[in-house]
Every structure is written in C-alpha cells, then in structure tokens.
Chain A
C-alpha cells in the first residue's frame, strides 16, 4: 500500500444538507430588527473592545485585543539588525506574519499559511508602515507576529489585528507618527453594519470595508473594500468609527 497517496475514492460528493438545514438557511432572520442586531447592538455600534499590552514576556512589545468573540494576540520583536544577506537599506523594514490558529475558524485552518493569511500579512505591513518612522531605523528590521485565536468575523479580525499591532509597536517603544486605528464595516441587505460578527458575515451578498486611519494626522493608511456600495456614507461612518477606536486607544494609553 502506498501511504503517500490518498486512499479515498477518486471522486467524492459533498453530503446533501438535510432538509432542516436548508430550511434554516432560507429563514435567516433580517440582520437588523427594531433597530437592534442579534447581539443587541445598534447598526453603527462596534462591539466592546478589550485591550491589554505587555502580555507576552519575551516580546519587545505586545498587545492582545478582543472584539466580541474575536481574539487577536500580537507581538513585536525588534528593531534589530538586518541580516547580512538581506542587503543594505537606508530605511528600516517591517515584516509581518499573520496566522489564524488552526482552531480559530469554523473550518479547520492548515498550520501552513495560506494565500489569504499571506495577503493579510502584507496588508498589515502596508497599513502600519506609514505610521512608523522607518527612516530613523537604517539597517534594521521589525518583526511583527499576529495570531488570531478566535475568528468572529474575518474583516473584524484584520481590523483588530491592525489596531493591536499598532499598539504593540507603541508598547515596544518604536518611534511612530501616530497610532493606527482600524475598523471594519459590512453592508447586508442595504443595511450598513459596523464591526460585523461571523454570523452577520454569513449573509449572502455580504460586502465589506476595512479602513485604517491615523486620526491625528488625518491620513488613511489602508483601505480594503469589495462589493458595490455607495461610497460616501460608508467612508464617513468608517472614519467616525476609526476615531472612536482611536479615542479608546488613547484612553487606554493614559
């Protein structure tokens, strides 16, 4: 027997969902009823944020954030000397590794990073690089590790990761221009929902937007959006939410 081969039959069929499951999906309730969402929030409320720094003793700086069931841990190592073979660079470099824990999502994640996780890593670097004074760190590299322990809304995970990573960088004492506050928005059934949970993301025709913003400088550091929607209201609410998250960060800092 060749154990390197998959022994199963060549073709397989997804089991037919039971009638009840189909019926249940068809009868998904409207996302907002009487101005309230399933967890009692209004459409433009974000979930309560829990944020702590310095939880990882080995790291130069770290942060842990919870948004409802979304739980993200983030650690910063560095700045440290760039390895010889990576060449000379006048500016510091930022490197990020974003990973969902294998048990974080409904479907088990593979321990090796998939394309989505790789892309999220790049997005985090792009969202944070403008806030860091990389010009003051020649020949150095900052490593950033983000682990999602629980995923309650993929977009919210990414937004939480950006916010937490920014706080972790601040915790590590890296020179920064401003903190980056990020937020996620969704559009379900023509209804704007801020900070969607996984249940709300499961609606068909779900649209989302992730916005990272430096409120004190008035600079957008990242924007990721899909699905056709009207832009101005979404951007306005997104901006307001970022400011809200930012104020929370500032309160935490004090």
Chain B
C-alpha cells in the first residue's frame, strides 16, 4: 500500500465527516474502540503487557529491573529508563532509518508521562542502599504493528506492565567496611510495584479540519494537522500534555480537545483497572488449581 499519501478529496471527505460527527467507520468523534490487553507475556521480564488498539496497532512493553546507581541528586530513589523501538517489521515507512525520528519522539513522550513529577510510582521502593545502589526499571517497548494512535497504546501497555511488575527482594547486610546486599531470586519474595495504579494513561486528540477525533485510524492520522497527547492519572490530573504535528490549534479548540481526552482517559483508566483485576484473578485461580500459568505462545 502506498504509505503517507492521500488525495485532496479523501481528506475533504474525512474532514467533513468529522464536522458531521460521523466518521468513515461510523463512529462519532469521541468513540474509542475498546483496547485489548494481555499481561505477563514475556518470561524473561519482571513485568510485561501487550496492547492492541482498533485491531491493528499492536505494542509490547517489557519491564526489567536492573541494578544500578541512583542519580547523585536523588540518592534515595530508583530510576526509570524508557526506550521505544518501532520494529522495522511494523510498517514499511520504517525501513532504513525511517524509524529513528519516530522512536525518539515516542520514547520522549512516554518518559515524559511516566517519569514526570508525581507520575505516581513510589521510586523510593527501588532504593536498595541509599546513594549507592538502586533498581533501574528498564521500560522497553516495541511497536509490532503501526496502525495509528501508537502513543495511547504504548502508555496503555506500559501502565499494565507496571501493574504486572515485581521488584526482586534484597537483603542488606552491614559489614565492617560499608554495606553489602544480596538479591533474592525467589519470585515469591518479590514485591509488587507500589502505587502502580497511580500511573497515567494517555489519550490523543487529533485535530482534523476544524474539529477533532479520538482514537484515530491511520487514514484519519494522515488527515490530521495537529494532535494533542494528554496523559491523565486516576486522580483526574493532567500529568503531561504535548502538541504534535505541523499545524496549530485555536485556544478554545485546545481546551475542548484537552477536556474530551481527559474524560476519555478517566473512562479508560476504569476499563483498564477492571482488565488488570480480571487478569490477576484468573492468575490466582490457575495457581490455586495448580495449573500452568504460562501460555503456549504470546499470540494465543
């Protein structure tokens, strides 16, 4: 398929559809397709999740705890390190170095939402020995399929992966010359990440013509002149907002978009919380029955 190309009349068709609040797939401007989410997929990770949006976008987020040193200014906390990689297989437009710019953009946006002030996580939990050793949470995302609205999917999966993450236990011993610690390998002694439910979700509003849509398809993404990524935490606070794209937005529309995205994010937070609880319940049931919790394939 010829990527990134769209005719004048197709664009006009989409724009006028947005004006009428009837999009090309029959949805209204605020309709959000239900994200599909799965957790605990990657055995090597301390936490992982996958999210599919609108049947085509597909992302996988893995979280691994790694020993490291804290930043000198925040010695009593651990750190997050975020990376995003669009797999070259995800879309033809990513061939060669085409993905570099997109990777930077997504990684920075994701880390802004997750590592920003009061993003919710208790980073003190990740401290092992103050000013010396801490856990670094490596949040690595890969985009498996690029079908529009990637950042929403990334944060959706990242939030679920954080809820799935367990930090290995450590035992600190005081020795004569300083302190030392041992890492406990037993998964049952690992602690769930605290306050993972405070992490925000992102909803992107795409400006098309003089209106906006949420949960855009690839075609709609092509038609949009600007977009607004809004991250909202369960307390209803906007944790991060970012405009993107080469167009401009009137202040009144900006506020409308922000409000719509915020409301949708609050709704999605509830939906996801339910999905996470559901996952944990089934996991527990399987464990009590003594069944294997591992699945034959992550695509099943």
Selected contact of B242 from candidates A217, A225, A235, CB within 8 Å: A225
Selected contact of B72 from candidates A14, A227, A235, CB within 8 Å: A14
- Does B117 lie within 8 Å of A227, measured CB to CB? yes
Binds B, one of A78-86, A122-130, A144-152: A122-130
The 8 A CB mask of A100-139 against B (1 = contact, 0 = none) is 0000000000000001101100100110011100000000
The 8 A CB mask of A205-249 against B (1 = contact, 0 = none) is 111000000100111111111111101000100010000000000
The residue among A214, A218, A222 with the most chain B CB atoms within 10 A of its own CB is A222
CB of A83, distance to nearest CB on chain B (Å): 16
A214 to B248, CA, bound (A): 9
CB of B286, distance to nearest CB on chain A (Å): 37
CB-CB under 8 A for A17 and B245, given A118-B104, A223-B228, A226-B240: no
The residue among B74, B108, B117, B241 with the most chain A CB atoms within 10 A of its own CB is B117
A226 to B116, CA, bound (A): 6
Interface residues in B, total, Cβ within 8 A: 40
Q: Which chain A residue shows the least CB distance to B262?
A: A231
Selected contact of A122 from candidates B101, B228, B248, B251, CB within 8 Å: B101
Tell whether B132 is near chain A: CB-to-CB under 8 Å: yes
Tell whether A1 is near chain B: CB-to-CB under 8 Å: no
Selected contact of A220 from candidates B73, B108, B237, B250, CB within 8 Å: B250
Tell whether A6 is near chain B: CB-to-CB under 8 Å: no
- Does A129 lie within 8 Å of B246, measured CB to CB? yes
Chain A's interface: helix, strand, loop or mixed, by majority?
A: mixed
The 8 A CB mask of B253-265 against A (1 = contact, 0 = none) is 0110010000000
- Does B104 lie within 8 Å of A122, measured CB to CB? yes
Tell whether B118 is near chain A: CB-to-CB under 8 Å: yes
A206 to B117, CA, bound (A): 6
The residue among A13, A118, A222, A226 with the most chain B CB atoms within 10 A of its own CB is A226
A219 to B247, CA, bound (A): 9
- Does A115 lie within 8 Å of B107, measured CB to CB? yes
CB-CB under 8 A for A228 and B239, given A116-B108, A239-B251: yes
A227 to B248, CA, bound (A): 23
CB-CB under 8 A for A228 and B237, given A118-B101, A223-B242, A223-B254: yes
- Does B104 lie within 8 Å of A14, measured CB to CB? no
Interface range on chain A (Cβ under 8 Å from partner): 35 or more
CB-CB under 8 A for A219 and B250, given A206-B117, A226-B239, A228-B118: yes
The residue among A16, A219, A225 with the most chain B CB atoms within 10 A of its own CB is A225
CB-CB under 8 A for A125 and B243, given A17-B131, A116-B108: no
Tell whether B218 is near chain A: CB-to-CB under 8 Å: no
Tell whether B208 is near chain A: CB-to-CB under 8 Å: no
Inside 8 A of A229's CB, which chain B residues have their CB? 237-238
CB of A201, distance to nearest CB on chain B (Å): 11
Inside 8 A of A227's CB, which chain B residues have their CB? 116-118, 239-240
Inside 8 A of A205's CB, which chain B residues have their CB? 117-118
- Does A228 lie within 8 Å of B104, measured CB to CB? no
- Does A17 lie within 8 Å of B240, measured CB to CB? no
CB of A154, distance to nearest CB on chain B (Å): 13
Tell whether B149 is near chain A: CB-to-CB under 8 Å: no
A222 to B249, CA, bound (A): 8
- Does A17 lie within 8 Å of B250, measured CB to CB? no
Tell whether B1 is near chain A: CB-to-CB under 8 Å: no
Tell whether B168 is near chain A: CB-to-CB under 8 Å: no
- Does B246 lie within 8 Å of A125, measured CB to CB? yes
Inside 8 A of A17's CB, which chain B residues have their CB? 72, 75, 131
A223 to B69, CA, bound (A): 33
A229 to B240, CA, bound (A): 9
- Does A16 lie within 8 Å of B131, measured CB to CB? yes
CB-CB under 8 A for A14 and B69, given A122-B105, A207-B117, A220-B254: yes
The 8 A CB mask of B79-123 against A (1 = contact, 0 = none) is 000000000000000000000010011011000110011100000
A88 to B112, CA, bound (A): 35
Give 15 CB contacts A-B under 8 Å.
Answer: A119-B108, A125-B246, A126-B244, A205-B118, A207-B116, A220-B249, A220-B250, A222-B243, A225-B242, A226-B239, A228-B233, A228-B239, A229-B238, A231-B255, A235-B255
Q: List residues of B whose CB falls within 8 A of some A CB.
A: 69-70, 72-75, 101, 104-105, 107-108, 112-113, 116-118, 131-132, 226, 228, 233, 235, 237-251, 254-255, 258
Known A-B contacts: A226-B113, A226-B117. Give 15 more (CB < 8 A): A13-B132, A14-B70, A14-B131, A17-B72, A25-B73, A122-B105, A126-B243, A131-B248, A207-B117, A214-B248, A220-B250, A222-B243, A223-B228, A225-B238, A231-B258
